[in-house]
Structure 1
Amino acid sequence: MAHQLYLEKEKYRQWVKAGLGLGYLKEGLVPFCDDVAKQQHKDILDNIKQTNNLPNVTCGQCTLRTLQPDHLKIANNKCPLGQTNCNCCYTSGKIACPNNVCGFIYDNIITNHASTQPAPYWKNTRTQQWTGDPWSIAKCFINAPGYDQKTSAADTDCTGLLHVIINNKYFHNHIQCNLAGANVFSKVRQYRNEIFHSSTMELEQADANTYIDDMIAVLQDGKELINRKDAQDAVKKLEELKNEDFIVTTENMERVLRDIREEMGNLRKLTEGLATKDACEDLKRKLSALEFPMSQQSEVYAS
């Protein structure tokens, strides 16, 4: 069959293996991220109950644009928590949470953001969901657009999951790796861009093995992941990818291409919100570079 011509190319098979590895990495991270996000959510609500002496924590009335934080600005109109363009600096039209809840959560998200100048990505979240949905808080730590409609860890790609782990100090308590500066979690996050945005869809075996080894290292982090069955089951799948006798099938190929098509669809939606014409044109060129080889392979796959 014609599609076998692609699978006979060694570098292409290595690229597919790396793409499959990203899927296995996500499988291993989802339950962990889900559990930690739920625990963080519970701790936040418990702290609100204790601090504000509330029997229950619920709201759903506040909006981010008009929410008045619990903290106050300091001299020279600066945020004491270090956030640029914080709501505390623009008090006109801001309204305190009527239930004494959302301002506390807003502050908690900022103080848990790991960047030097905390920069939660507020566009990914809806304030109205904070008290009832743990993932709506976790999404604030994904410093990239396109996750506003993601409703759970399982609904989020591995890049988004790695963003949550790297950018959320609460998650750092569950990770042995030092996530400040260069670290394997950040390296693997970059690998996904290199794999999915490759215009050649080819990879040297040594590079593919390096990517997979680092994915394994993420899932074997010594604090908690090393002891989680779901993470170690994913490690076994990743190790199988490195076996010489591992057969890359057309089903494997289509799974990776399907993931890339989904990302390309998300990127197209984002072009409308890009700030500059140059940025928009640059993204269109990148999409075009990917679409040509993908269209060729889709035709071959269908033959």
Structure 2
Amino acid sequence: MAHQLQLEKENYRQWVKAGLGLGYLKEGLVPFCNDIADQQHKDILQNIRSTKALPSTVTCGSCQVDTLKPDHKPVGNAGFKVCPLGQVRCSCCFTKGKIACPNNICGAIYDYIVQHHASSPPAPHWKNSDAQQWSVDPWSICQCFINAPGYEQKQSASETDCTGLLHLLINNQYFHSHIACDVTETNNLFSKVRQYRNDIFHSSSLELEESEANSYIDDMIGVLQDGKELLQRSDAQIAVKKLQDLKKKDFIITTEGFEEILRQIKEEMENAPTKEEYEELKAQMSKLKEEIKRLQVEDSPQQKQLEYEKAKSESQKKLIEQYHKTLLQVPTIPLQPKSKKCSFNEIYIRPTIMREIKGEKEEIKEVKVKTMSEMFTKNGFPQKSVYVLGDAGSGKN
């Protein structure tokens, strides 16, 4: 029985690790997605203004996507019209009640979104976005590429979970030129990782085998190490380090870790498309809270040790910082203590030290000392006596 409880506890720990991994994955993707979204928005507006000879300051905040008339026109006869961009039930074919953008910009943005949606046929999720914001807010355009409900209130990449960010990377062709992975291939890495959130947070057992959890984490690392741009971004690689730490045997899940998992499940509940899924997640959250209470009792000695190690590490860090500010600061002019101070490392010059040794014919030779251990050891054994000779002020001390 004790072995079974330990096994369940370990599998639960692996499940929590995988959930924390999703949070770290999001941390690594948010800055990248924000930057590319800004670039895309700038390019869209420059292209439209240039093509239509519009003023560089023109914007619009009056159009609604449900009543907006696109710039493109349908093809076919009066009895059978189809969208030339391939969108099913496109507004271009149902123009009754549709209004052209008064500023001549939103219809062109609508066309751009359809043309750059990677699904076939293109299927932007218009309900996630507010067309009134298209000309001023980059993220409002990105929301159209998140093909799942519940993201209309997410006003930035930081408010969007990693599933939504992966939707954007997979569905937005503009983003494709910034990643090396071919997301159009079946079972590509980005699509696999997008599915992991459902696999993890819709698990009724709240358990994972270690090999499965580590496989999930490895794929998350693979996304953040995509060779086109993400691999070169420091923010993405900081997240990679956090993911790698999750796989260490001695990794300890803190109270903050539990709270992060609860936050993510709550976020899932907010985005739940059906009442059934909402109730399923609600029951899962209740079970998770009970599990946390149990583990906090069982792991209290471990938690205390973790808190002690954390406090010790912080004290060491503060002590080092204090040394750098005080003891390692010296006057630039030794005989004038009140002169401007700088770091000891900036003015220290390593002295040249020569060691006397006997040659084969008992002659004395001088050899430059390369390491300090050469001064204090001989043939691997410590020297009993060491004499240092030099002129005054040469740095013998």
- If the length of structure 2 is used for normalisation, what is the TM-score? 0.69
Q: CA deviation at 1:301?
A: 7.3
Counterpart amino acid of 1:150? K
Counterpart amino acid of 2:262? L
1:15–1:208: 8 Å Cα contact kept in structure 2? yes
The question of 1:146 aligning with 2:146 is answered no
Q: CA deviation at 1:298?
A: 5.7
The question of 1:58 aligning with 2:87 is answered no
Q: Look up the SS of the partner of 1:68 in the other structure.
A: coil
C-alpha separation in 2, matches of 1:290 and 1:169: 36
1:6–1:12: 8 Å Cα contact kept in structure 2? no
Which residue of the partner structure matches residue 261 of structure 1?
A: 266
2:17–2:246: 8 Å Cα contact kept in structure 1? yes
Counterpart amino acid of 2:108? F
Report 1:15-164 matches (<5 A). 15-55=15-55, 56-75=57-76, 76-164=80-168
**Which of the pair is proportionally richer in strand?**
2
C-alpha separation in 1, matches of 2:47 and 2:24: 35
Cα deviation 1:63-102 (Å, max 9, x = unaligned): 1111110000111211110101110010111111111100
C-alpha separation in 2, matches of 1:215 and 1:23: 10
The question of 1:10 aligning with 2:10 is answered yes
Which residue of the partner structure matches residue 205 of structure 1?
A: 210
1:130–1:136: 8 Å Cα contact kept in structure 2? yes
Out of 236, 249, 254, the residue aligned to residue 249 of structure 1 is 254
**Which of the pair is proportionally richer in helix?**
1
Sequence identity, in percent? 63
1:112–1:169: 8 Å Cα contact kept in structure 2? yes
Distance 1:130 1:6, change over 3 A: farther
Which residue of the partner structure matches residue 228 of structure 2?
A: 223
2:149–2:271: 8 Å Cα contact kept in structure 1? no
Q: CA deviation at 1:183?
A: 0.7
- RMSD value, Cα: 1.9
Q: Which has the larger radius of gyration?
A: 2
2:22–2:197: 8 Å Cα contact kept in structure 1? yes
Q: Look up the SS of the partner of 1:64 in the other structure.
A: coil
Q: Look up the SS of the partner of 1:234 in the other structure.
A: helix
Which residue of the partner structure matches residue 237 of structure 1?
A: 242
2:265–2:281: 8 Å Cα contact kept in structure 1? no
Q: CA deviation at 1:250?
A: 2.8
2:151–2:271: 8 Å Cα contact kept in structure 1? no
Asked which structure has the greater RCO (Cα within 8 Å, sep 6+), the reply is: 1
Q: Look up the SS of the partner of 2:89 in the other structure.
A: coil
C-alpha separation in 2, matches of 1:34 and 1:237: 21
Distance 1:154 1:191, change over 3 A: same
2:268–2:281: 8 Å Cα contact kept in structure 1? no
2:269–2:278: 8 Å Cα contact kept in structure 1? no
Counterpart amino acid of 2:14? Q
- If the length of structure 1 is used for normalisation, what is the TM-score? 0.90
Residue ranges of structure 2 left out of the alignment (5+ in a row): 298-397
Q: Look up the SS of the partner of 1:77 in the other structure.
A: strand
The question of 1:297 aligning with 2:291 is answered yes
C-alpha separation in 1, matches of 2:255 and 2:154: 29
Counterpart amino acid of 1:106? Y
Q: CA deviation at 1:259?
A: 1.3
Which residue of the partner structure matches residue 274 of structure 1?
A: none
2:150–2:270: 8 Å Cα contact kept in structure 1? no
Counterpart amino acid of 2:43? D
Q: Which 4+ stretches in 1 moved above 6 angstroms?
A: 5-8
Which residue of the partner structure matches residue 287 of structure 1?
A: 281
Counterpart amino acid of 1:131? S
